[in-house]
Structure 1
Amino acid sequence: MQVAGRQLSDPPSDGISNLRFSNHSDHLLVSSWDKTVRLYDAADDVLRGEFLHGGPVLDCCFHDDSSGFSACADGTVRRLVFSHGKEDNLGKHDAPVRCIEYSYSTGQVITGSWDKTIKCWDPRGVSAQNATLVVTYQQPERVYSLSLVGHRLVVATAGRHVNIYDLRNMSQPEQRRESSLKYQTRCVRCYPNGTGYALSSVEGRVAMEFFDLTEASQAKKYAFKCHRKSEAGRDIVYPVNAIAFHPIYGTFATGGSDGFVNVWDGNNKKRLYQFSKYPTSIAALSFSRDGRRLAVASSYTYEEGDKAHGPDSIFIRSINEIEVKPKPKVLPNPPA
């Protein structure tokens, strides 16, 4: 069976931790356990830059097409200046930094760490060696995933905690929740329309949640099973490692350790598409800004321990509208 997408040249040599398309171009930023962050032109399959860190890099994000940021297992937070091929230290956590986001609404970099904190950084003074740490917020457990939409920040931690903040007043969480999924959280991603978030777990499930606490809104939340199969009369369940929302239609893709990428219509509770199986686990997903491409990191995520596995690869799939556009509901014919 043919793999879905064109494979990029010069992939990382160890596990891919994340990848992200730019909001302004076809540039793709990729972080890896091989201690690098790579910048690609995904359309032309060109490696534009490579930054070597002091430890595995667990996450990365863009500021704009001239710079980005990285989160490192050695506790450092860095700004990457693409045009000059240089990097600056923003600062440090007391443990590996698991996730990083740039807030366009506040102009701050937000990092989440296994030291049970999130930190907000002002990157503007870093080249002048000014203090860049704005504030630190304690979390109930190690931070596993972050997601931003507008002024809202969703923080998912170990112990199935979910804290929801308003970036305009982060003295305390706007809401404190517990994941509706029974097992460890793997990924959280906000809906593009700002009404809620999707949360995935290691136990092959995704929960669809809403910020509005009214009874009517909360009645719309649900969870569903995915990335599992039946074999010899028993269920084999795979972690859901990645969620990516389509920027135009609001449908979303999930990537699992089963090597499959599924596309879902969350509003109509239906699967729209399943791509051909990839060589190994899906570690990360990202849609391009126009929704016409999907970057897929096929990279073993060690759920089954240290075993022989295929090389780490990045695939760029051209997206057909039929794969991501919600299907209209068919209404029954009225009685004659």
Structure 2
Amino acid sequence: MEKRFLETEPFYYSRKYASQYGCDLSLPSWAALGSMVVYTRLIEAYALKLGRPLKILTAPHFYTEETIALNERHYPILDENPYIKEIINADLIDIKIMREVSAEMDNFPQLGHITENICAPFGLKPRKLHGDLYLTKEEKQAALETLSHLPRPLVALCPYGNSSPLQESDWYERKWLMIIQKLSDDAGFFQIGHDKFNHKALPIFTPMNTTVREMMALIWACDIYVGFDTGPSHIAAAFERPAMVIWDAVRKAKLEENKEPGFSLATMGRWTYPHTKNLILLGERENEGVSWVVDFILNTDVMKQTRG
């Protein structure tokens, strides 16, 4: 079923401005990290259709003083992508371009997976239903060195995100501590984030002040990933790491409904990945959620191999 929320056709302004400025695609810049990741499959599919790398019209994703101090790249999700030949900064042309392009980011059918939804208006089918990210050899080696003091298998934890539980919830911190305690003899743990993420007081290694690219590399270097529905979870899926994504359904539904009425109905279909496990927080009698996370980690192939 098709549902649009603007009078224009899907990606009307994206097509208009890409054509006007001699580009192949125009991508939104005012988007959350995970939203930027899902657009990478459109880039791949469109480049393969044309048989050449693309010229992209977008704008830098980060402008804050903190990200500038961290030496954050303008296009961390898109850098090193072999399907991109050139990126044109739309803000240097006219700042209204990204306002209109970003406003139509959700203006397409909602009930399919978001990767399919993005590709469909262009007559394209994505090769995989997750992101397509690229790191350099140096970035990968730096991440491995950063984590080299930790025991393997190595579990990356991401206990925060825009839709994660609030401070009064046991899933804000207490249940993460339980997971770590239950598996302390079986795996190593670290906590990931970037910029000024609110690192929680977990008794595990926490690389501080990482850029998006450094965070991406740390996720690539892990063996298993567990986190709330947030940008790093999309990155873990892109690198095809065994991943469990935890959803606070009430919080997520409220955020989706604030975008457009009806968005929450399609949340799980749009944003989850076929090869990840999903834990929906809709109430627990005791600590079933913790048990499910622990069982998921223990039953990954890498953990089974380690345990013999």
TM-score, reference length from structure 1:
0.25
Select the structure that is richer in helix: 2
Higher relative contact order (CA 8 A, sep 6+): 2
Select the structure that is richer in strand: 1
